[in-house]
Chains A and B, each alone.
Chain A
Amino acid sequence: MAERRSESGSSPQPGRMSRRKFLGVTGGAGAGLLLAACRSDVTPEPGADPGVDSPAPVTEPVTIRWIDAMAGPRAYNESVFAEFMDLHPNVTIEYTLVPVAELAPSVQAFLASDDPPDVFAVPNLEAAMQMINQGVVQPLDPYVTDEWKQSFPPATFVEGAMMFGGQTYSYPHSGTRQCEGLLWYNADVFEQSDLDPDRGPETWDELREMSRAIVQAGGGQAFGMVLQGGLPVSVGHLAAVLATSSGGAFGPIGGGRSTIGGINWHTGEYAHSSDRYVDAVEFLRSLDVDDLLLPGWASLSPQDGMQRLAQGNAGMFSWGSYVVGQLRGGDFPEFPLRFSPPPTADGTRHHLNTDVALPRLMFHADSQHPEVVGELIMFRSSPEYFRGYVQEVQVQPSPMPEIDQAADVSDQFKAAANFFNEWIRFQPLAAGKNPSVTDAVLEMRPVEPNFHQIVTAAVSGQITDVRSALNELDGKLTEERERAIEAVQAQGIEVSVDDWVFPNWDPAQDYDDSFYAEL
Chain B
Amino acid sequence: MPAAGLPGAAPKPDSERVSIERGPPQEIIKGARFWTLLFLMPALGLYGLLVLYPIASGVFGSFTDWSGFGRARSFIGLDNYRLLLQDPLFWSAFRNSFYFMFANVPARLVFALFLAVLLTSTTLRGRTFFRTAIFIPVVTTTAIVGVLMTFVLNPFNGPVNLALLRFGPLERPIDFLGNPDTAMPTIVAVSIWKWTGITLIYWLAALQSVPQSLQEAALVDGANKWQQFRHVIAPLILPFAVVIFLISMINMLQVFDLVQTMTGGGPFFTTEVIEVFIYRHGFTAVQGLPRLGYASAAAVAFGIMVMGLSAVYGIVLRRTNERRRELAS
Contact = CB atoms under 8 A, between A and B. Distances in A.
B46 interface: no
Contacts of B286: 233, 450
Contacts of B81: none
B160 to A, nearest CB: 12
Given A296-B156, A298-B178, A259 B287 contact: yes
Interface in A273-323: 294-299, 308, 313
Nearest to A442: B289
B287 A257 contact: yes
A26 interface: no
A258 B285 CA distance: 12
Interface string B238-272: 00000000000000000000000001101111100
Which residue of B156, B180, B266, B291 has the most chain A CB atoms within 10 A of its CB atom?
B156
Nearest to B174: A295
Interface stretch (A119-127, A200-208, A378-386, A389-397): A119-127
B13 interface: no
Contacts of A462: 180, 267-268, 270
B290 A108 contact: yes
A460 B288 CA distance: 25
A112 interface: yes
Contact of A111 (B69, B156, B270, B284): B69
B71 interface: yes
A258 B70 contact: no
A104 B285 contact: yes
Interface residues of A, number: 46
- Chain B interface extent, by class: 35 or more
A123 B285 contact: yes
Given A105-B283, A257-B287, A449 B69 contact: no
Contacts of A126: 285, 288-289
Interface stretch (A88-96, A130-138, A157-165): A130-138
A449 B268 contact: yes
A99 B283 CA distance: 14
Which residue of B154, B172, B175, B178 has the most chain A CB atoms within 10 A of its CB atom?
B178
A456 B69 contact: no
Given A104-B283, A111-B68, A112-B68, A257 B154 contact: no
Interface in B52-75: 67-72
A294 B156 contact: yes
A33 B295 CA distance: 46
B173 interface: yes
Contacts of A294: 156
Given A297-B178, A298-B267, A463-B268, A446 B69 contact: no
A92 B286 CA distance: 33
Contacts of B68: 104, 107-108, 111-112
Given A103-B285, A230-B264, A460 B70 contact: no
B288 A453 contact: no
A296 B173 CA distance: 9
Contacts of B270: 462
What 7 A-B pairs come out closest when comparing CB atoms? A446-B287, A298-B178, A108-B68, A123-B285, A457-B268, A104-B285, A295-B155
28 contacts: A104-B290, A105-B283, A111-B68, A126-B289, A130-B67, A130-B69, A130-B70, A131-B69, A136-B70, A230-B264, A230-B266, A259-B287, A295-B155, A295-B175, A296-B155, A296-B173, A296-B178, A298-B177, A299-B178, A299-B267, A446-B288, A449-B269, A450-B286, A450-B287, A453-B268, A456-B267, A457-B268, A462-B268
Interface of A: 101, 103-105, 107-108, 111-112, 122-124, 126-127, 130-131, 134, 136, 229-230, 232-233, 257-259, 294-299, 308, 313, 442, 444-450, 453, 456-457, 460, 462-463
Given A259-B287, A296-B154, 15 more contacts: A107-B69, A108-B292, A111-B70, A127-B289, A130-B67, A134-B69, A233-B286, A257-B288, A296-B173, A296-B175, A299-B177, A308-B156, A448-B287, A450-B286, A456-B268
